[in-house]
Structure 1
Protein backbone atom coordinates (compact mmCIF):
# COMPACT_ATOMS: atom_id res chain seq x y z
CA UNK A 1 0.00 0.00 0.00
CA UNK A 2 1.22 3.50 -0.86
CA UNK A 3 1.21 6.91 0.80
CA UNK A 4 1.04 10.21 -1.08
CA UNK A 5 1.81 13.74 0.07
CA UNK A 6 0.10 16.63 -1.72
CA UNK A 7 1.72 20.06 -1.36
CA UNK A 8 -0.15 23.18 -2.55
CA UNK A 9 -0.74 26.54 -0.90
CA UNK A 10 -4.42 26.50 -1.94
CA UNK A 11 -6.70 24.61 0.50
CA UNK A 12 -9.22 24.04 -2.30
CA UNK A 13 -6.62 22.49 -4.62
CA UNK A 14 -5.28 20.31 -1.81
CA UNK A 15 -8.71 18.95 -0.94
CA UNK A 16 -9.74 18.41 -4.57
CA UNK A 17 -6.55 16.47 -5.28
CA UNK A 18 -6.79 14.55 -2.01
CA UNK A 19 -10.26 13.28 -2.87
CA UNK A 20 -9.21 12.19 -6.36
CA UNK A 21 -5.92 10.55 -5.38
CA UNK A 22 -7.54 8.68 -2.48
CA UNK A 23 -9.51 6.62 -5.04
CA UNK A 24 -6.38 5.27 -6.79
CA UNK A 25 -6.08 1.51 -6.14
CA UNK A 26 -3.31 0.73 -3.68
CA UNK A 27 -3.24 4.17 -2.07
CA UNK A 28 -3.60 3.76 1.67
CA UNK A 29 -3.07 7.30 2.93
CA UNK A 30 -3.05 10.80 1.42
CA UNK A 31 -1.41 13.56 3.48
CA UNK A 32 -1.41 17.28 2.70
CA UNK A 33 1.10 20.08 3.19
CA UNK A 34 0.72 23.82 2.61
CA UNK A 35 4.34 24.71 1.79
CA UNK A 36 7.67 23.41 0.61
CA UNK A 37 9.11 24.06 4.04
CA UNK A 38 6.50 21.74 5.55
CA UNK A 39 7.34 18.98 3.07
CA UNK A 40 11.03 19.12 3.99
CA UNK A 41 10.25 19.07 7.72
CA UNK A 42 8.04 16.02 7.39
CA UNK A 43 10.03 14.03 4.84
CA UNK A 44 12.33 12.09 7.13
CA UNK A 45 9.42 11.13 9.37
CA UNK A 46 6.75 10.20 6.83
CA UNK A 47 8.69 9.18 3.69
CA UNK A 48 5.69 9.13 1.32
CA UNK A 49 5.91 7.01 -1.82
CA UNK A 50 4.98 9.96 -4.04
CA UNK A 51 4.80 13.75 -3.66
CA UNK A 52 2.53 15.97 -5.76
CA UNK A 53 4.04 19.47 -5.50
CA UNK A 54 2.86 22.85 -6.74
CA UNK A 55 5.50 24.61 -8.84
CA UNK A 56 4.62 28.14 -7.69
CA UNK A 57 4.19 28.71 -3.95
CA UNK A 58 4.99 31.53 -1.53
CA UNK A 59 8.22 31.12 0.41
CA UNK A 60 10.19 28.09 -0.68
CA UNK A 61 8.78 27.34 -4.15
CA UNK A 62 8.24 23.92 -5.63
CA UNK A 63 11.42 23.91 -7.72
CA UNK A 64 13.72 24.72 -4.81
CA UNK A 65 11.85 22.23 -2.61
CA UNK A 66 12.50 19.50 -5.19
CA UNK A 67 16.20 20.38 -5.30
CA UNK A 68 16.54 20.21 -1.51
CA UNK A 69 14.39 17.11 -1.17
CA UNK A 70 16.37 15.16 -3.77
CA UNK A 71 19.64 16.32 -2.26
CA UNK A 72 18.42 14.72 0.97
CA UNK A 73 16.93 11.63 -0.65
CA UNK A 74 17.65 10.98 -4.38
CA UNK A 75 15.02 8.22 -4.41
CA UNK A 76 12.15 10.63 -3.69
CA UNK A 77 9.46 10.60 -6.37
CA UNK A 78 7.92 13.98 -7.15
CA UNK A 79 5.33 15.07 -9.71
CA UNK A 80 4.88 18.80 -10.19
CA UNK A 81 1.47 20.49 -10.25
CA UNK A 82 1.31 23.41 -12.64
CA UNK A 83 -0.79 25.67 -14.81
CA UNK A 84 -0.71 24.89 -18.56
CA UNK A 85 1.24 28.05 -19.40
CA UNK A 86 4.04 27.45 -16.89
CA UNK A 87 6.33 25.32 -19.08
CA UNK A 88 9.46 27.08 -17.87
CA UNK A 89 8.86 26.25 -14.21
CA UNK A 90 8.15 22.63 -15.06
CA UNK A 91 11.26 22.28 -17.22
CA UNK A 92 13.43 23.60 -14.39
CA UNK A 93 11.76 21.29 -11.88
CA UNK A 94 12.22 18.22 -14.09
CA UNK A 95 15.85 19.20 -14.68
CA UNK A 96 16.19 19.31 -10.89
CA UNK A 97 14.90 15.75 -10.63
CA UNK A 98 11.08 15.78 -10.64
CA UNK A 99 9.63 12.78 -12.46
CA UNK A 100 7.10 14.76 -14.50
CA UNK A 101 4.11 17.01 -14.07
CA UNK A 102 0.34 17.32 -14.12
CA UNK A 103 -1.76 20.30 -15.08
CA UNK A 104 -4.07 21.44 -12.32
CA UNK A 105 -6.95 21.30 -14.79
CA UNK A 106 -6.22 17.68 -15.73
CA UNK A 107 -9.24 15.41 -15.63
CA UNK A 108 -9.78 13.22 -12.58
CA UNK A 109 -9.12 10.16 -14.75
CA UNK A 110 -5.83 11.57 -16.06
CA UNK A 111 -4.73 12.44 -12.53
CA UNK A 112 -5.53 8.96 -11.26
CA UNK A 113 -3.81 7.28 -14.22
CA UNK A 114 -0.63 9.33 -13.84
CA UNK A 115 -0.44 8.64 -10.11
CA UNK A 116 -1.06 4.93 -10.68
CA UNK A 117 1.71 4.79 -13.29
CA UNK A 118 4.16 6.64 -11.05
CA UNK A 119 3.45 4.31 -8.13
CA UNK A 120 3.58 1.13 -10.22
CA UNK A 121 6.90 1.86 -11.92
CA UNK A 122 9.81 3.10 -9.74
CA UNK A 123 11.61 4.32 -12.88
CA UNK A 124 8.59 6.19 -14.27
CA UNK A 125 9.30 9.58 -15.80
CA UNK A 126 7.30 11.85 -18.09
CA UNK A 127 9.56 14.49 -19.60
CA UNK A 128 8.17 17.94 -20.54
CA UNK A 129 8.94 17.38 -24.23
CA UNK A 130 6.57 14.43 -24.24
CA UNK A 131 3.66 16.23 -22.62
CA UNK A 132 4.14 19.23 -24.91
CA UNK A 133 3.74 16.86 -27.84
CA UNK A 134 0.63 15.38 -26.27
CA UNK A 135 -0.88 18.80 -25.56
CA UNK A 136 -0.36 19.85 -29.15
CA UNK A 137 -1.98 16.73 -30.55
CA UNK A 138 -4.29 18.06 -33.23
CA UNK A 139 -6.52 16.81 -35.98
CA UNK A 140 -8.11 13.36 -36.00
CA UNK A 141 -6.74 10.79 -33.55
CA UNK A 142 -5.19 7.65 -35.03
CA UNK A 143 -7.55 4.75 -35.66
CA UNK A 144 -7.06 2.17 -32.94
CA UNK A 145 -8.76 -1.22 -32.95
CA UNK A 146 -11.25 -2.02 -30.19
CA UNK A 147 -8.67 -4.32 -28.59
CA UNK A 148 -5.95 -1.65 -28.68
CA UNK A 149 -8.29 0.79 -26.95
CA UNK A 150 -9.04 -1.83 -24.28
CA UNK A 151 -5.30 -2.26 -23.71
CA UNK A 152 -4.82 1.50 -23.54
CA UNK A 153 -7.66 1.78 -21.03
CA UNK A 154 -6.00 -0.88 -18.90
CA UNK A 155 -2.77 1.11 -18.99
CA UNK A 156 -4.66 4.25 -17.97
CA UNK A 157 -5.71 2.44 -14.79
CA UNK A 158 -2.11 1.53 -14.00
CA UNK A 159 -2.53 -2.18 -14.77
CA UNK A 160 0.43 -4.30 -15.83
CA UNK A 161 0.44 -6.24 -19.12
CA UNK A 162 -0.25 -9.43 -17.17
CA UNK A 163 -3.22 -7.84 -15.37
CA UNK A 164 -4.62 -6.49 -18.65
CA UNK A 165 -4.23 -9.95 -20.18
CA UNK A 166 -6.17 -11.61 -17.35
CA UNK A 167 -8.94 -9.04 -17.65
CA UNK A 168 -9.22 -9.47 -21.44
CA UNK A 169 -8.51 -13.25 -21.47
CA UNK A 170 -5.34 -12.70 -23.50
CA UNK A 171 -1.78 -13.88 -23.00
CA UNK A 172 0.75 -11.35 -21.76
CA UNK A 173 2.63 -11.65 -25.07
CA UNK A 174 -0.53 -10.81 -27.00
CA UNK A 175 -1.07 -7.71 -24.82
CA UNK A 176 2.52 -6.67 -25.53
CA UNK A 177 1.88 -7.02 -29.26
CA UNK A 178 -1.22 -4.80 -29.04
CA UNK A 179 0.76 -2.33 -26.94
CA UNK A 180 3.56 -2.09 -29.52
CA UNK A 181 1.01 -1.47 -32.28
CA UNK A 182 -0.83 1.25 -30.41
CA UNK A 183 2.46 2.92 -29.42
CA UNK A 184 3.39 3.06 -33.11
CA UNK A 185 -0.01 4.45 -34.13
CA UNK A 186 0.03 7.09 -31.38
CA UNK A 187 3.68 7.98 -31.86
CA UNK A 188 4.22 7.20 -28.17
CA UNK A 189 7.57 6.31 -26.65
CA UNK A 190 6.22 4.39 -23.65
CA UNK A 191 3.12 3.58 -21.57
CA UNK A 192 2.95 6.92 -19.78
CA UNK A 193 3.28 8.81 -23.06
CA UNK A 194 0.57 6.64 -24.67
CA UNK A 195 -1.82 7.25 -21.78
CA UNK A 196 -1.20 11.01 -21.89
CA UNK A 197 -1.91 11.05 -25.63
CA UNK A 198 -4.97 8.87 -25.11
CA UNK A 199 -6.45 11.38 -22.69
CA UNK A 200 -5.63 14.36 -24.89
CA UNK A 201 -7.31 12.73 -27.88
CA UNK A 202 -10.28 11.48 -25.87
CA UNK A 203 -9.49 7.82 -26.57
CA UNK A 204 -9.72 7.00 -22.85
CA UNK A 205 -11.52 8.80 -20.04
Structure 2
Protein backbone atom coordinates (compact mmCIF):
# COMPACT_ATOMS: atom_id res chain seq x y z
CA UNK A 1 0.00 0.00 0.00
CA UNK A 2 1.28 3.46 -0.91
CA UNK A 3 0.78 6.44 1.41
CA UNK A 4 1.83 9.80 -0.04
CA UNK A 5 0.01 13.12 -0.18
CA UNK A 6 1.10 13.85 -3.75
CA UNK A 7 -1.09 12.18 -6.38
CA UNK A 8 1.61 12.28 -9.05
CA UNK A 9 4.12 10.66 -6.70
CA UNK A 10 1.65 7.89 -5.86
CA UNK A 11 1.02 7.28 -9.55
CA UNK A 12 4.75 7.07 -10.24
CA UNK A 13 5.35 4.70 -7.33
CA UNK A 14 2.43 2.49 -8.37
CA UNK A 15 3.77 2.22 -11.93
CA UNK A 16 7.27 1.49 -10.64
CA UNK A 17 6.19 -1.18 -8.15
CA UNK A 18 3.66 -2.89 -10.38
CA UNK A 19 6.31 -3.13 -13.08
CA UNK A 20 8.51 -5.18 -10.72
CA UNK A 21 7.84 -8.95 -10.56
CA UNK A 22 6.25 -10.10 -7.32
CA UNK A 23 4.78 -6.74 -6.33
CA UNK A 24 1.10 -5.81 -6.24
CA UNK A 25 -0.20 -2.43 -5.08
CA UNK A 26 -3.48 -3.12 -3.26
CA UNK A 27 -4.39 0.45 -2.28
CA UNK A 28 -3.12 4.03 -2.08
CA UNK A 29 -4.00 7.12 -0.04
CA UNK A 30 -2.68 10.54 0.86
CA UNK A 31 -4.24 10.64 4.33
CA UNK A 32 -2.54 9.30 7.47
CA UNK A 33 -5.75 8.43 9.26
CA UNK A 34 -7.16 6.60 6.29
CA UNK A 35 -3.85 4.76 5.94
CA UNK A 36 -4.29 3.33 9.43
CA UNK A 37 -7.85 2.23 8.69
CA UNK A 38 -6.85 0.65 5.38
CA UNK A 39 -3.87 -1.13 6.91
CA UNK A 40 -6.10 -2.65 9.59
CA UNK A 41 -8.65 -3.81 7.01
CA UNK A 42 -6.42 -4.90 4.11
CA UNK A 43 -3.34 -6.08 6.06
CA UNK A 44 -0.86 -5.48 3.23
CA UNK A 45 2.60 -7.02 3.60
CA UNK A 46 4.21 -3.57 3.33
CA UNK A 47 3.03 0.03 3.63
CA UNK A 48 5.21 2.53 1.78
CA UNK A 49 4.90 5.65 3.93
CA UNK A 50 5.70 9.27 3.09
CA UNK A 51 7.38 10.81 6.14
CA UNK A 52 5.92 14.29 5.76
CA UNK A 53 2.23 13.95 5.06
CA UNK A 54 0.36 17.25 4.85
CA UNK A 55 -3.17 15.92 4.94
CA UNK A 56 -5.88 18.05 6.52
CA UNK A 57 -5.32 18.39 10.23
CA UNK A 58 -1.80 16.96 10.25
CA UNK A 59 -0.28 20.35 11.00
CA UNK A 60 -2.59 20.70 14.01
CA UNK A 61 -2.13 17.36 15.73
CA UNK A 62 1.06 15.95 14.27
CA UNK A 63 -0.68 13.09 12.47
CA UNK A 64 1.92 12.79 9.74
CA UNK A 65 4.02 9.89 8.52
CA UNK A 66 5.63 9.14 11.89
CA UNK A 67 2.34 8.99 13.78
CA UNK A 68 0.71 6.98 10.99
CA UNK A 69 3.61 4.53 11.15
CA UNK A 70 3.30 4.23 14.93
CA UNK A 71 -0.44 3.58 14.77
CA UNK A 72 -0.21 1.09 11.91
CA UNK A 73 2.45 -1.00 13.64
CA UNK A 74 0.41 -0.96 16.84
CA UNK A 75 -2.99 -1.65 15.29
CA UNK A 76 -1.99 -4.05 12.52
CA UNK A 77 0.75 -6.45 13.69
CA UNK A 78 2.48 -8.05 10.74
CA UNK A 79 2.06 -5.01 8.51
CA UNK A 80 5.55 -3.67 7.83
CA UNK A 81 6.11 0.03 7.17
CA UNK A 82 8.87 1.32 4.91
CA UNK A 83 9.36 5.08 5.06
CA UNK A 84 10.06 6.79 1.74
CA UNK A 85 11.19 10.39 2.07
CA UNK A 86 13.56 13.08 0.86
CA UNK A 87 15.03 13.56 4.35
CA UNK A 88 18.15 11.71 5.47
CA UNK A 89 18.53 13.61 8.75
CA UNK A 90 19.47 11.44 11.72
CA UNK A 91 16.53 12.68 13.79
CA UNK A 92 14.00 11.65 11.15
CA UNK A 93 15.64 8.24 10.67
CA UNK A 94 15.67 7.52 14.40
CA UNK A 95 12.07 8.72 14.91
CA UNK A 96 10.85 6.55 12.05
CA UNK A 97 12.57 3.43 13.37
CA UNK A 98 11.41 4.14 16.91
CA UNK A 99 7.85 4.36 15.53
CA UNK A 100 8.24 0.84 14.17
CA UNK A 101 9.37 1.37 10.57
CA UNK A 102 11.13 -1.64 9.05
CA UNK A 103 12.78 0.40 6.34
CA UNK A 104 13.89 3.93 5.44
CA UNK A 105 14.49 4.82 1.80
CA UNK A 106 15.24 8.12 0.08
CA UNK A 107 13.12 9.31 -2.83
CA UNK A 108 16.28 10.33 -4.66
CA UNK A 109 17.67 6.80 -4.44
CA UNK A 110 17.65 4.21 -7.24
CA UNK A 111 14.59 1.95 -7.68
CA UNK A 112 16.69 -1.08 -6.71
CA UNK A 113 17.05 0.29 -3.16
CA UNK A 114 13.28 0.66 -2.92
CA UNK A 115 12.66 -2.88 -4.19
CA UNK A 116 15.27 -4.32 -1.83
CA UNK A 117 13.80 -2.49 1.16
CA UNK A 118 10.24 -3.59 0.40
CA UNK A 119 11.33 -7.21 0.00
CA UNK A 120 13.40 -7.09 3.18
CA UNK A 121 10.52 -5.61 5.18
CA UNK A 122 8.04 -8.14 3.77
CA UNK A 123 10.38 -10.91 4.92
CA UNK A 124 10.56 -9.44 8.42
CA UNK A 125 13.96 -7.84 7.95
CA UNK A 126 15.20 -4.29 7.90
CA UNK A 127 15.73 -2.28 4.70
CA UNK A 128 17.78 0.88 5.10
CA UNK A 129 19.21 3.20 2.47
CA UNK A 130 22.99 3.58 2.95
CA UNK A 131 22.50 7.20 4.05
CA UNK A 132 19.97 6.12 6.68
CA UNK A 133 22.17 3.31 7.98
CA UNK A 134 25.06 5.75 8.30
CA UNK A 135 22.94 7.94 10.57
CA UNK A 136 22.24 4.99 12.85
CA UNK A 137 25.70 3.48 13.12
CA UNK A 138 27.64 4.83 16.06
CA UNK A 139 30.67 4.09 18.19
CA UNK A 140 29.09 4.46 21.60
CA UNK A 141 31.78 4.67 24.25
CA UNK A 142 31.73 2.13 27.07
CA UNK A 143 28.78 0.37 25.47
CA UNK A 144 30.47 -3.02 25.60
CA UNK A 145 32.84 -4.75 23.17
CA UNK A 146 34.88 -2.33 21.08
CA UNK A 147 34.50 -2.80 17.35
CA UNK A 148 36.89 -1.26 14.88
CA UNK A 149 35.65 1.37 12.43
CA UNK A 150 35.70 -1.25 9.67
CA UNK A 151 33.77 -3.74 11.80
CA UNK A 152 31.14 -1.09 12.52
CA UNK A 153 30.83 -0.46 8.78
CA UNK A 154 30.27 -4.18 8.27
CA UNK A 155 27.59 -4.28 10.99
CA UNK A 156 25.90 -1.26 9.40
CA UNK A 157 25.74 -3.09 6.07
CA UNK A 158 24.45 -6.21 7.82
CA UNK A 159 21.59 -4.08 9.14
CA UNK A 160 20.73 -3.20 5.53
CA UNK A 161 20.43 -6.90 4.69
CA UNK A 162 23.48 -7.05 2.40
CA UNK A 163 25.14 -10.34 1.50
CA UNK A 164 28.86 -10.95 2.05
CA UNK A 165 29.45 -10.26 -1.63
CA UNK A 166 27.56 -6.96 -1.48
CA UNK A 167 29.44 -5.92 1.67
CA UNK A 168 32.74 -6.76 0.00
CA UNK A 169 31.79 -4.68 -3.03
CA UNK A 170 30.62 -1.71 -0.93
CA UNK A 171 33.80 -1.66 1.17
CA UNK A 172 36.22 -2.65 -1.63
CA UNK A 173 37.20 -5.85 0.17
CA UNK A 174 37.38 -9.50 -0.78
CA UNK A 175 34.65 -11.84 0.42
CA UNK A 176 37.27 -13.72 2.43
CA UNK A 177 38.14 -10.50 4.28
CA UNK A 178 34.46 -9.86 4.99
CA UNK A 179 34.13 -13.37 6.42
CA UNK A 180 37.15 -12.71 8.65
CA UNK A 181 35.57 -9.50 9.91
CA UNK A 182 32.31 -11.35 10.62
CA UNK A 183 34.11 -14.06 12.61
CA UNK A 184 35.77 -11.38 14.74
CA UNK A 185 32.51 -9.47 15.18
CA UNK A 186 30.66 -12.65 16.21
CA UNK A 187 33.39 -13.42 18.74
CA UNK A 188 33.39 -9.91 20.20
CA UNK A 189 29.60 -9.72 20.46
CA UNK A 190 29.08 -13.34 21.45
CA UNK A 191 26.70 -13.97 18.56
CA UNK A 192 26.30 -16.81 16.07
CA UNK A 193 24.50 -15.35 13.08
CA UNK A 194 23.77 -12.14 11.20
CA UNK A 195 20.37 -11.40 12.74
CA UNK A 196 21.71 -11.95 16.24
CA UNK A 197 24.67 -9.72 15.52
CA UNK A 198 22.49 -6.82 14.40
CA UNK A 199 20.21 -7.25 17.42
CA UNK A 200 23.16 -7.34 19.83
CA UNK A 201 24.74 -4.29 18.18
CA UNK A 202 21.45 -2.46 18.70
CA UNK A 203 21.30 -3.53 22.34
CA UNK A 204 24.84 -2.33 22.96
CA UNK A 205 24.29 1.01 21.26
CA UNK A 206 26.59 0.28 18.32
CA UNK A 207 23.52 0.72 16.15
CA UNK A 208 21.52 3.50 17.71
CA UNK A 209 17.99 2.16 17.34
CA UNK A 210 17.15 2.21 21.05
CA UNK A 211 17.10 -1.57 21.02
CA UNK A 212 14.40 -1.68 18.37
CA UNK A 213 14.79 -3.21 14.93
Q: TM-score, normalised by structure 2?
A: 0.57
Which residue in 2 is equivalent to 1:79?
82
Distance 1:38 1:23 in 2: 26
* Residue 84 of structure 2 is aligned to residue 91 of structure 1: no
Distance 1:47 1:93 in 2: 20
Which residue in 2 is equivalent to 1:6?
2
* 2:103 and 2:118 in contact (8 A); partners too: no
Gaps of 5+ in 2: 138-162, 167-173, 183-192, 199-213
- Partner SS, residue 106 of structure 1: coil
Which residue in 2 is equivalent to 1:64?
67
* 1:24 and 1:116 in contact (8 A); partners too: no
- More off after superposition, 76-85 vs 60-69: 76-85
Question: Out of 112, 122, 125, which is 1:123 matched to?
Answer: 125
Gaps of 5+ in 1: 135-148, 153-176, 194-205
Matches within 5 A, 1:42-191: 42-58=38-54, 59=58, 60-119=63-122, 121-124=123-126, 126=128, 130-132=133-135, 152=166, 181=178
Which residue in 1 is equivalent to 2:154?
none
- Partner SS, residue 44 of structure 2: coil
* 2:5 and 2:53 in contact (8 A); partners too: yes
Which residue in 1 is equivalent to 2:35?
39
Kindly state the Cα deviation for residue 183 of structure 1 after the two structures are TM-superposed.
9.5
Tell me: CA distance 1:44–1:107, structure 2 relative to 1, closer, same or farther (3 Å): same
Tell me: CA distance 1:8–1:179, structure 2 relative to 1, closer, same or farther (3 Å): farther
Cα RMSD (Å): 3.7
Tell me: CA distance 1:61–1:115, structure 2 relative to 1, closer, same or farther (3 Å): same
Query: Number of aligned pairs?
Result: 148
Tell me the alpha carbon deviations over residues 123-151 of structure 1, each in whole angstroms, 9 at most, x when there is no partner: 335498624379xxxxxxxxxxxxxx9x5
Kindly state the Cα deviation for residue 70 of structure 1 after the two structures are TM-superposed.
1.8
Distance 1:178 1:33 in 2: 43
- Partner SS, residue 102 of structure 1: strand
Kindly state the Cα deviation for residue 103 of structure 1 after the two structures are TM-superposed.
0.4
